[in-house]
Amino acid sequence: MSGTLNLLIGLAMGLNLIALGSSRLPSLIRAMSVQGVVLGLMPLLMEGKKLNWPVVLVVLATIVGKGVVIPGMLRRATRAANVEREIEPFIGFVPSLLLGAGGTIAAVALARALPLLPEHAGSLVVPGAIASVLTGFILLIGRAKAISQICGYLILENGIYLFGLLLIHSTPLLVESGILLDVTVGVFVIGVIMDRIQRAFDSLDTRKLTVLHE
């Protein structure tokens, strides 16, 4: 079972690098949505035969929300704004990719130094969580398009979600349920802000906000 979990987390870490190195917004949205689905399946594997309806409900909500609903909203916003690429990011794609790769290696080294429980010592849960949080931060501060920043926020949340899986046996997905609710509210708020930016500037480039004055 641990081998399957590590395989899924390794896939999620690879999707982090794809997100950092991609200039096309559809590819970034796709990487974010696939990562959400992959991580959403993990509680089913971690619970094994002890499945209960709250776990299944949260898993379904996570997969539908992160894999279908939110990516669909972002794709619609991309088409409405007629934006396909991130042209001039604050941090270039190659430097972003190098930062992500270096952060992933550092996360693996840090996880080995932490006093983890024996059941988590051989897994990639902690390094995968740290790497995803770092990837989200890089996208949030390094991209100029609002859609890219939203994807960064969601990837960062995936890292927090992964951290929460460490508590799956003591708090049966209570942490993940709260995070999922926060993400849903946050995405709707960001969607409203993104709509206002589009209406005011006919663009989703957040650099245009610097022309605002009191």
State the pTM of this model: 0.82
The yes-or-no verdict on residue 50 having pLDDT over 80 is no
pLDDT reported for residue 203: 56
pLDDT reported for residue 44: 80
The yes-or-no verdict on residue 210 having pLDDT over 60 is no
Between 35 and 42, where is the model more confident? 35
Tokens for 3, please give them: 């081998």
Q: How confident is the model at residue 160 (pLDDT cuts 50, 70, 90)?
A: confident
pLDDT reported for residue 43: 80
* pLDDT, average across residues 54-69: 81
Structural domain span for residue 109: 2-211
pLDDT reported for residue 162: 85
pLDDT reported for residue 46: 74
Cβ-contact 135, 15 below 8 angstroms: no
Q: Angle at the Cα of 28 (from 37 to 150), degrees rounded to 5?
A: 85
Q: What is the 3-state secondary structure (H, E, C) of the chain?
A: CHHHHHHHHHHHHHHHHHHHHCCEHHHHHHHHHHHHHHHHHHHHHHHCCCCCHHHHHHHHHHHHHHHHHHHHHHHHHHHHHCCCECCCCCCCHHHHHHHHHHHHHHHHHHHHHCCCCHHHHCCCHHHHHHHHHHHHHHHHHHCCEHHHHHHHHHHHHHHHHHHHHHHCCCCCCHHHHHHHHHHHHHHHHHHHHHHHHHHHHCCCEHHHHHHCCC
Q: Please state which of the ranges 45-59, 87-101, 162-176 shows the lowest mean pLDDT.
A: 162-176
As a whole number, the mean pLDDT across the chain is: 79
| Phi, psi of 64, rounded to the nearest 5 degrees | -65, -45
pLDDT reported for residue 147: 82
pLDDT reported for residue 121: 74
Question: Distances in Å between the alpha carbon of 207 and those of 88, 145, 197?
Answer: 10, 8, 11
| For the chain, percent of residues with pLDDT exceeding 90 | 28
Rounded to an integer, what distance in angstroms lies between the CA atom of residue 77 and that of residue 60?
A: 24
pLDDT reported for residue 83: 78
Q: How confident is the model at residue 106 (pLDDT cuts 50, 70, 90)?
A: very high
Q: Angle at the Cα of 150 (from 125 to 66), degrees rounded to 5?
A: 55
Question: Distances in Å between the alpha carbon of 44 and those of 2, 22, 23, 159, 197?
Answer: 12, 30, 33, 18, 40
The yes-or-no verdict on residue 214 having pLDDT over 60 is no
Cβ-contact 208, 144 below 8 angstroms: no
For the chain, the domain total comes to 1
